[in-house]
Chains A and B, each alone.
Chain A
């Protein structure tokens, strides 16, 4: 038997990109997300991008292979209740799960590919003309 979950107050602002906010028991949750995050120095979209597959989106992820039947789990619920006064979560994103209640199986997978493109001869604005700004320098070995 599984325990009863009691949460008096839940405050959540955002649940996005294949995330789950589950109130109540569930049996199986499978959430998947693939993210291609492209950052360019200038606002530019060249069209039909990201249609090709990067290996990260197809490579199998090794998972721990456990024979659930080989392990005998004895649960002794001396108290049948899990009690929480309040939960405050600003956001759940990219296959995240917020679950109040019991479940059997949760299976989540996220794949993220980051690409950044910077201009070759970009000259930052003259410091005399603009307000002081923190500077970030990215150097690349040839």
Chain B
């Protein structure tokens, strides 16, 4: 597969960001390969109502 990119003039003014989090990226430049992943686990079972017991993996 052939893929052609023409990079013309890029001029950006001001970038205003609150946060970059969880495998995110802010890139001013070129890159060849970017591979980012993030996994969240917040199922309903992660909410316990009752006595405070130690955490047990399951």
A interface, CB within 8 angstroms of B: 2-3, 5, 7, 19, 25, 31, 36, 38, 40, 42, 44, 46, 48-50, 52-56, 59, 61, 63-64, 66, 68, 70-79, 81-120, 138, 140
Contacts and interface: CB of A to CB of B under 8 A. Distances in A.
B14 A86 contact: yes
Report the interface size class on chain B. 35 or more
A115 to B, nearest CB: 5
Given A56-B39, A88-B16, A140 B24 contact: no
Contacts of A118: 47-49
B40 to A, nearest CB: 5
A139 to B, nearest CB: 9
A137 to B, nearest CB: 12
B23 A72 contact: no
A54 B41 CA distance: 10
Name, among B6, B7, B30, B48, the residue most crowded by chain A CB atoms within 10 Å (CB to CB): B30
